[in-house]
Amino acid sequence: MNNKRKNNSLLSYFNKSMKSVVNSDPDEPQPEPSQPKDTETVDLMTCSIARKDDIGLFVNCDLSDTDKNLILTNVWVPSDTYIFPIIEKNKGRNLKFQHHWLKMFKWLAYSETRQGGFCKVRLVFSRTGGIGCQKLHTLVIKPMDSFKKALETLNKHAKHEYHKLALEKADYFLNTTSSKEPEIINKLNIDRAKKINENRGNLIHIIDCILVCGRQEIALRGHRDFGAISFDGEPEMNEGNFRAILKYKAKD
């Protein structure tokens, strides 16, 4: 009985296999395996040859002070012999990025991974601007990779107020990180300490005047010994010995 069941199961298996072979039409076109879609440009972001100091690698990233300093001072700059590629959108006019743009606009940097230009200061300090603080695209989060009106685009960008403000922020950042100028909080503390020392020095002079009057048994009060001390000419009324001595001491 068991042998019969085994034979039936084996026969049914081979019958199904034979049916599948018979039903398949060799002349019927078979679906081709899916192929990856062609891209317009090679994504250099995933290539091992991508430069670590390429400005394109810092787009839409949270930047540390080290990253900001690198972008502003030591980002990759193509050599004079570097040949810029011609991307698909510029093939009709055979246009490509130009070396002299980098010399004309010191804030401009070229990204090999993104194949276009970026504004260094805007990328670091100001990614919004204009009416309603809208997100900025070209030269900030998207490369300038259309070169038909490149100079017009760059000159217009340089005149924006938010670009000028970003330049000021960049200068201040570089000054503080290089210890040429203290940070705001430290600067406030320095000014406060300076004012405290100045006031202490003034108090010492006031105390000296009081001691002089006391030793010489000179009365401190006068007919008008209140209010601000005026140094313009002689007072209309006698202000008292103490105020007169203070004015004399202040001339030192």
Instruction: Please give the structure tokens belonging to residue 132.
Output: 């309603």
pLDDT on residue 130:
58
More confident residue, 133 or 102: 102
pLDDT at 181: 59
> Domains of the chain: which residue ranges?
55-178, 184-251
Quickly count: other Cβ atoms within 10 Å of residue 238's Cβ.
Answer: 12
HSE-CB of 13 using CA atoms within 13 angstroms: 6
- Residue-wise pLDDT tens digits, 103-115: 999 999 999 999 9
Q: Which residue has the higher pLDDT, 237 or 166?
A: 166
The whole-number pLDDT of residue 113 equals: 93
pLDDT in tens, 5-52: 445 554 454 454 444 444 444 444 444 444 434 333 444 444 435 688
What are the pLDDT digits (tens) for 185-218?
666 777 777 888 888 888 888 888 888 888 888 8
> 85: pLDDT confidence band, cut at 50, 70 and 90?
very high
Give the Cα-Cα-Cα angle 220, 224, 227 (nearest 5 degrees). 100
The position carrying tokens 């100079």 is 151
Average of per-residue pLDDT values in the chain: 77
pLDDT given at position 9: 52
Query: What's the angle, vertex CA 81, arms to CA 76 and CA 84, rounded to 5?
Result: 70
Which pTM does this prediction carry?
A: 0.53
Backbone angles phi, psi at 70, to 5 degrees: -65, -45
DSSP code of residue 62: P
Q: How far apart, in Å, are the Cα atoms of 170 and each of 97, 138, 167?
A: 25, 20, 5
Match 């296999």 to its residue by tokens. Answer: 17
**222-232 pLDDT, tens digit each:** 666 666 666 66
